[in-house]
Amino acid sequence: MDEEIASIEKNNTWNLVHLPANKRPIAVKWIYKLKYLPDGTIAKYKARLVAKGFLQKHGIDFKEIFAPVARIETSAFLNGKLEEKVYIEQPQGFIVKGKEDHVLKLNKALYGLRQAPRAWNMRIAHGRSKHIETKFHYLRDQVTKGKIKLSYCNTEFQMADVLTKQLKIDRFKDLRKMMNVQSLETLN
């Protein structure tokens, strides 16, 4: 949790302020995850601070949420600047002593916010962002030139899931069959 807070503060994601009279803070929660090494041993414990975006009200806490972004797991997601004034509660375990009545005004998106994907997309489409920008602009350029055609693919047919996600055995077998991959046991 200390690492997560340090990263957020390093990115100037928020400022500690008094809550304006006409605003309400969005609650936050900690999400915990274990990262494993290939041999199955625990590599590290990961904590992520997430806004309870489902509590946000359209027209009050956000205007637009649409963004043409895929699921991306990177801290670059946090670098999207917010157009709206968004306030969150101080995270559990990190409440500033003597300022318990203060809230955090977000300067940049936080995981869980309804407008976070759009804010992140605006950053990579119009700003600078580590390695992602090159890939994004390359693909956009290839689409514009007609070298790549984008088309909708129902999640039922996302064969990359077999390589990137932990799947239930039935789903795994269905995808394996779609790719015409056989088990070594059936080849004997």
Residue 160 has pLDDT above 50, yes or no: yes
Distance between CA atoms of residues 158 and 142, nearest Å = 22
| pLDDT in the model for residue 104 | 94
| pLDDT in the model for residue 136 | 59
Averaged pLDDT score across all residues of the chain: 76
Distance between CA atoms of residues 2 and 94, nearest Å = 9
For residues 6-14, average pLDDT: 87
DSSP H/E element including 119: helix 116-126
| pLDDT in the model for residue 12 | 86
Residue 60 token pair? 């009050």
Which of 41-45, 46-50, 77-81, 142-146 has the lowest average pLDDT? 77-81
Distance between CA atoms of residues 62 and 119, nearest Å = 11
Task: Name the pTM for this structure.
Answer: 0.54
Burial call 125-146: b when 16+ CB within 10 Å, e when fewer: eeeebeebeeeeeeeeeeeeee
The DSSP secondary-structure symbol of 51 reads E
| pLDDT in the model for residue 167 | 79
**pLDDT tens for residues 64-92?**
545 454 444 444 455 667 777 888 899 99
For residues 152-156, average pLDDT: 72
| pLDDT in the model for residue 71 | 47
Residue 18 has pLDDT above 90, yes or no: yes
Residue 154 has pLDDT above 90, yes or no: no
Give backbone dihedrals phi and psi of 11, rounded to 5 degrees, phi first. -85, 5
**pLDDT tens for residues 107-126?**
887 877 766 665 655 555 55
Pick 11 or 69 by higher pLDDT: 11
The DSSP secondary-structure symbol of 165 reads S
Residue 129 has pLDDT above 50, yes or no: no
